[in-house]
Amino acid sequence: MKKNIDFLVVGSGFYGCVIAERIASVLKKNVLIVDKRDHIGGNCFSEIDKTTKIEYHKYGTHIFHTSNQKVWNYINKFTNFNGYRHQVISHYNNKKYQMPINLETINNYYQKDFSPREAEVFIKKKTVKFQKTNYKNFEEKAKSQIGNDLYNAFIKEYTEKQWGKNPKNLPSNIFNRLPLRFNYNEDYFKNCIWQGIPIDGYTRVFENLIDNKRISFQPLTEYNINNPIKPKYLTIYTGPIDKLFNYRYGKLSWRSLKFKNKIVQQEDFQGTSVINYPQLKYEFTRIHEPKHLHLERNYSKKSTLVIEEYPIINDEEPYYPINDNNNRAIHRLYKRDINKLKNFIIGGRLADYAYYDMDMTISAALVKFEYILKNFK
Ligand SMILES: Cc1cc2nc3c(=O)[nH]c(=O)nc-3n(C[C@H](O)[C@H](O)[C@H](O)COP(=O)(O)OP(=O)(O)OC[C@H]3O[C@@H](n4cnc5c(N)ncnc54)[C@H](O)[C@@H]3O)c2cc1C
């Protein structure tokens, strides 16, 4: 197969596998996908815990959600989804609250029984003194949206743990708007028409995407620009852009995560798939219980898998880009150099230095394939 590589795809996440699938199915050309890891699927990879037999997402809980009809039609050719709809709970001072902040959170926190309109008026009074035309930092902006109390309880220390910085030192545009609902809707992705978890897990989706005799997958193969595998037509690179050029303009900064898996000898540990722990007294930010992602499966009642999530700095496992002016300027320099390379294009979250949900990644890969198709003929 290596002798006859028409297209090379570097990285087997959604971006790489969708492009490979399109090239093989539509252009009928041979594609080699390489990945430095020992598995397919990028950060969406899922596997079965050996002891409990519960499927979990190795790089953090992934919920598929979209309102993009094109993406939904496309991905449904490779998997069915269960009917899971995501809900998040926050654990603050030994009580549980709904997230994002909604009418239940407000009433529960303030021990009130507000109607939607009363809650809106109440929060308006709490935020009015924080209104400005220009917000200097994240904290100022967040307080102007939800007030001091809710900010201190649910957002301040969580943000500090997540980003490793006091929110006063974070740019105001990290979140444009903190979600705030004056109703009891607890559907985390309420604006998405479709939601769910692939019925046979994420890894099976990737296996289905590349189930084509024209596609080969080579794990444990790190692409290096100084000694590249040369395809006949084009390389599509989805790895980190700074590493590709050996950090010639410096390193792009990322936040990373570490996960600690534990087996608990009880049927149900926390009653839901994700609970946030916003306070600094807990080093982890969230606890995941993946059993709850697949209520259609008959998992054992004897035990459950529980995963603590810890934010860390780790250049080798980039998760969230630190999208400030300095990093954006560095990224622009690398992008300029990409344009000078022949028969070489980039895409995906690592090369674009961006946070993309899965549906955005698939959509971007489908658009890039249209570009390849137009230029290939
Ligand atoms: C903690 C977390 C939770 C998330 N949860 C959700 C969610 O609930 N819903 C949602 O829609 N999205 C979620 N996402 C986003 C989702 O993970 C991304 O949309 C998706 O992974 C992007 O796919 P990708 O192909 O761009 O990148 P990746 O999945 O990261 O794939 C890139 C691949 O390239 C490989 N690679 C890198 N460099 C090289 C090299 N030099 N040579 C060979 N291989 C290389 C890597 O090993 C990796 O496998 C989440 C992201 C994070 C960080």
Over the stretch 255-281, which tens digit does the pLDDT of each residue have? 999 999 999 999 999 999 999 999 999
349 and 249 within one domain: yes
313: confidence class by pLDDT, cuts 50, 70, 90: confident
287 and 244 within one domain: no
Q: Which residue among the candidates 309, 334, 353, 359 is catalytic per the annotation?
A: 309
In this structure, what CATH number is given to the domain that contains residue 235?
3.40.50.720
* Residue-level pLDDT at 94: 97
Instruction: Report the distance separating Cα 189 and Cα 170, nearest Å.
Output: 25
Instruction: Evaluate whether residue 200 is within a structural domain.
Output: no
Does 286 qualify as catalytic in the annotation?
yes
Tens digits of residue pLDDT in 35-69: 999 999 999 999 999 999 999 999 999 999 999 99
Q: Which residues are CB-contacts of 309 (< 8 A; sequence separation ≥ 6)?
A: 60, 257, 258, 259, 284, 285, 286, 287, 288
Report CA(263)–ligand 1 centroid distance (Å): 26
339 and 308 within one domain: no
Does pLDDT of 1 surpass 60? no
DSSP single-letter state for residue 342: T
Average pLDDT of the chain is 95
Q: How many domains does the chain have?
A: 3
Index of the ligand 1 atom closest to the CA of residue 66: 11
Instruction: Evaluate whether residue 353 is within a structural domain.
Output: yes
Order of strands across the sheet that contains 286-288: 95-99, 88-92, 274-276, 286-288, 304-312, 254-264, 320-321
Question: In percent, how much of the chain has pLDDT > 90?
Answer: 92
Instruction: Evaluate whether residue 174 is within a structural domain.
Output: no
306 and 271 within one domain: yes
Report CA(29)–ligand 1 centroid distance (Å): 25
DSSP SS3 for 291: helix
Of 103 and 323, the structure prediction assigns the larger pLDDT to 103
Instruction: Evaluate whether residue 176 is within a structural domain.
Output: no
Assess contact for 128 and 111: CB atoms under 8 A.
Answer: no
Does pLDDT of 198 surpass 80? yes
- Ligand 1 atom 12: the closest Cα is on which residue? 357
Pocket test for ligand 1, best of 252, 350, 369 (most atoms within 8 A of CB): 350
Q: Which of 5, 134, 49, 20 is nearest to 366 (CA)?
A: 20
Q: Which of 165, 172, 169 is nearest to 134 (CA)?
A: 172
Q: What angle do CA 350, 352, 356 make, to 5 degrees?
A: 75
Does 317 qualify as catalytic in the annotation?
no
Pocket test for ligand 1, best of 43, 189, 246 (most atoms within 8 A of CB): 43
Instruction: Report the distance separating Cα 150 and Cα 192, nearest Å.
Output: 26
Does pLDDT of 207 surpass 60? yes
Instruction: Evaluate whether residue 6 is within a structural domain.
Output: yes
Instruction: Evaluate whether residue 93 is within a structural domain.
Output: no
- Ligand 1 atom 53: the closest Cα is on which residue? 319
Tens digits of residue pLDDT in 222-255: 999 888 899 999 999 999 999 999 999 999 999 9
121 and 231 within one domain: no
Report CA(267)–ligand 1 centroid distance (Å): 31
- Buried/exposed code over 304-314 (b: 16+ C-beta within 10 A; e: otherwise): bbbbbbebeee
154 and 108 within one domain: yes
Does 255 qualify as catalytic in the annotation?
yes
* Residue-level pLDDT at 2: 52
10 and 138 within one domain: no
263 and 244 within one domain: no
368 and 229 within one domain: yes
- Ligand 1 atom 38: the closest Cα is on which residue? 239
Assess contact for 350 and 239: CB atoms under 8 A.
Answer: yes
Q: Which residue among the candidates 255, 308, 320, 356 is catalytic per the annotation?
A: 255
329 and 361 within one domain: yes
Tens digits of residue pLDDT in 104-125: 999 999 999 999 999 999 999 9
Instruction: Evaluate whether residue 330 is within a structural domain.
Output: yes
Over residues 6-13, the mean pLDDT reads 98
* Residue-level pLDDT at 316: 77
Does 355 qualify as catalytic in the annotation?
yes
Strands annotated E in 188-244: 194-196, 215-218, 234-237
Q: Which residue among the candidates 21, 56, 157, 286 is catalytic per the annotation?
A: 286
Strands 88-92 and 274-276: parallel
Helices and strands per DSSP (H, E), number in the chain: 11, 16
273 and 230 within one domain: no
Instruction: Evaluate whether residue 278 is within a structural domain.
Output: yes
Domain containing 285: what range? 254-312
315: confidence class by pLDDT, cuts 50, 70, 90: low
- Token pair for 94: 């030994």
* Residue-level pLDDT at 86: 97
339 and 371 within one domain: yes
Does pLDDT of 175 surpass 90? no
